[in-house]
Structure 1
Amino acid sequence: MFGDNQKQNVSTGAVAVQAGNDVNIIHNGLSYSEVRDVALDVFRANFLQLAGPAMETAKARAEEITEDFLKKLQEENPSGFGKGQDPDFQHALFTVQREYARSGDKDLGDLLIDLLVDRSKQDQRDILQIVLNESLATAPKLTDSHLAVLALKFLFQYTQNFGIGNHQLLGEYFDKYALPFSSKLVKNQACFQHLEFTGCGSIQMGESSLEAILDHFYGGQFFKGFDQSEIAARKISIGLDENFFMTCLNDPSKIQVRANNATQLQNTLNDKNINDEDQEKILALFNIEKMSNLEIRETCISIRPFMQDIFDAWSNSSMKSFTLTSVGMAIGHANIKRFVGEFASLSIWIN
């Protein structure tokens, strides 16, 4: 391994509520049951009137999504109950209720809940709040295939996992973050045209292959290795220091630099106060005997065969030249979070 780097009609400006029998949590004057009453009052006041059973279905779905949202809000951000008095947040909540009442799609409902919980954490009108509001309106326009594209583009092109130190951990990373989306990808152009139409991204002139992206962030997983004699031949004064060298992951008869990428290596060199001359020589070793793109692809597929589908979709569609907007990032982030439970704060990328 590479070391330690491992969610009633009211007059304007007012809120009418009636508490239920049980008050579990109180924040800023509103309890769980009070927020629930406000939320359902908002839905009843704003949702169009449907005929017969359709209206009953819509009401049942609105109650379901509201309960699910409040449960998750109670778990992740209890202070968000205070948002029940905020007109903009009421509008965001109604957007979730309306879209789920229309579709009844459980996966979409879970995604919208994750986005709304994130929205509940924003206390002021800033770019992240605006992006999350827009994401709540955009996500219902997307299919599972669109959502899979956004998740994988966000994962591989915009994030980096610092805990990957060997092929086992790389495989576990693929299992956790990529496998849930691997079978949902499509290669038709209409997919990416629709993502452009909805404001999730754009097709650029240039290309970024998945192999090159993996090499950039996790290049240490794809070295061919070099002979130990290179250390002496290059007159590296610290010798075979285990902080910087290790047995090659792809050829046990050789060694490699202990780092996934040049930035990580440079930081370690600085932290260990390595002299400038040795730093230059070790950085040079990092750039020799590297796998080609084809070899990187083959290595990843040998670790996890399902990666074949992802490489194929990426290289044989506009996925390779598609870049995400802030809305695309927010939806991709929420889709990953829907499957893995925990993920870094969206504010890292949108601020």
Structure 2
Amino acid sequence: MRQEQRGGDNSTNFQAEVIHAGITYRDARDIATDVYNDNIPKFTEIARQVALDRAMSFTDTLLDGIPSETLQALKDPDVQRALFFAQQEFACSGDEQLGDVLMDLMRKRMKSPQRDIKQLAVTESLKTAPKLSANHFSALTALFVLTRIRLGIASVADLHAKMRTILAPAVYGLEVSEADLAYLEYAGCVSIQITSHNIGDILLETYKGAFSRGFTEEQIPETVRPVIAPFLGACFRDPAKLQLAALNAEIVGKLTEEQKLDDPYRASILNLLNVGLMSSAEAAEEFSDLHPALRNLTEIYHSSSLKNCQLTTVGITLAHTNLRRVAGEAFDPGLEIWVK
């Protein structure tokens, strides 16, 4: 039996129903419909119908394909509150991009039963997402890909392809002003630091091995030649030369630790990462040449405070969600890699 619930003017009612067994899809839809109908503000008849159609479309898409164990999250009043917020925002705006972001965030919230940093970040992101424009999402996503992600690559061509398919679509047509960046800081998505980083330096730090022109055997210090064989491979850019078979200093460091090499050996091997290395400016120029959207990003990044921005936990959550929306199957790691 449905419970009657009343509230005064300007009150918000979240109905938590007594559920004796597991929630079925039909149960979940009924709950979601009640949550919306019991709380939506009064509109004119036409506007109310438009809002209801949008809210139910959002709800049906959200629930479609969700495992039955995830549907049980709708027993939680906090999940119902988050659901109503998402329904209301999409019902009022009808913005498909915002709807996709809210959809993914709601799925994350329904899969996060524990009150931990991930749940808190997702809940706060649900509140923040409707306050952002498409350019804000693009700027956050650019920062996420450049500063928080290490793409798995097996060649220079692989790196280029992933930048074109993952990053370029997310920043296409990007326009960001200083006011936009100040607003993102106000919204809790970024913090603007004094220090800055250019794109070339970021690429070299993350994918140093992909920007190596290689070295010859004669350039390897004699002291490490007896132990260096496991660390060498053919140069990506010049197969006639050698390079370390690792993308960056962190990976090389882990490999030398696994081999239990002494510090002098480890330092000499790490130094080989810099032999034949392209300059920061060359790396940035190569990145810019990959796609017009990436050239535009490079120009904006270097000429604005975007280069001073550091993502907050909410910024990471929103960027991750937007990147999944844009890249689809090309990017599928879970948020817990970055927010845990």
The TM-score, its normalising length taken from structure 2, stands at 0.89
Partner SS for 1:256: strand
Partner SS for 1:30: coil
- Unaligned runs of 5+ residues in structure 2 are 6-13
Shift of 1:325: 1.4
* Residue matched to 2:248: 261
1:37 aligned onto 2:30: yes
Shift of 1:127: 2.2
Contact 1:221 1:249 (8 Å CA) reproduced: yes
- In structure 2, distance between residues paired with 1:183 and 1:225: 33
AA in 2 matched with 1:237: R
- In structure 1, distance between residues paired with 2:188 and 2:3: 33
Shift of 1:273: 4.5
Residue from 51, 62, 65 that aligns with 1:69: 62
Residue from 268, 276, 281 that aligns with 1:294: 281
AA in 2 matched with 1:92: A
Residue from 171, 180, 201 that aligns with 1:191: 180
- In structure 2, distance between residues paired with 1:187 and 1:150: 11
1:329-344 → structure 2 map (5 Å cutoff): 329-339=316-326, 340-341=328-329, 342-344=331-333
AA in 2 matched with 1:188: S
1:169 aligned onto 2:158: yes
* Residue matched to 2:102: 112
Residue from 228, 235, 238 that aligns with 2:226: 238
Shift in alpha-carbon separation, 1:166–1:306, aligned structure 2, 3 A: farther
* Residue matched to 2:11: none
Shift of 1:350: 2.1
AA in 1 matched with 2:35: V
Residue from 73, 80, 85 that aligns with 1:95: 85
- Shifted more, 274-283 versus 196-205: the winner is 274-283
- Shifted more, 135-144 versus 150-159: the winner is 150-159
Could you report, residue by residue, the CA deviation over 1:11-31 in whole angstroms, capped at 9, with x for unpaired residues? Answer: 5874178xxxxxxxxx95211
* Residue matched to 2:73: 83
1:96-175 → structure 2 map (5 Å cutoff): 96-161=86-151, 163-175=152-164
The sequence identity of aligned pairs, in percent, is 32
1:209-228 → structure 2 map (5 Å cutoff): 209-228=198-217
The TM-score, its normalising length taken from structure 1, stands at 0.86
Partner SS for 2:233: strand
Shift in alpha-carbon separation, 1:223–1:304, aligned structure 2, 3 A: farther
- In structure 2, distance between residues paired with 1:299 and 1:201: 27
- In structure 1, distance between residues paired with 2:50 and 2:301: 39
Partner SS for 1:225: coil
Partner SS for 1:48: coil
Shift of 1:304: 4.5
1:53 aligned onto 2:46: yes
Count the aligned residue pairs: 329
- In structure 1, distance between residues paired with 2:167 and 2:319: 12
Partner SS for 1:164: coil
- In structure 2, distance between residues paired with 1:56 and 1:78: 29
* Residue matched to 2:298: 311
Shift of 1:124: 2.2
1:325 aligned onto 2:322: no
Shift of 1:308: 1.3
- In structure 2, distance between residues paired with 1:305 and 1:254: 32
- In structure 2, distance between residues paired with 1:226 and 1:253: 9
- In structure 2, distance between residues paired with 1:13 and 1:66: 17
* Residue matched to 2:193: 204
- In structure 1, distance between residues paired with 2:55 and 2:15: 24
Contact 1:167 1:303 (8 Å CA) reproduced: no
- In structure 2, distance between residues paired with 1:110 and 1:28: 30
Partner SS for 1:149: helix
- Unaligned runs of 5+ residues in structure 1 are 1-7, 18-26
- Shifted more, 190-199 versus 56-65: the winner is 190-199
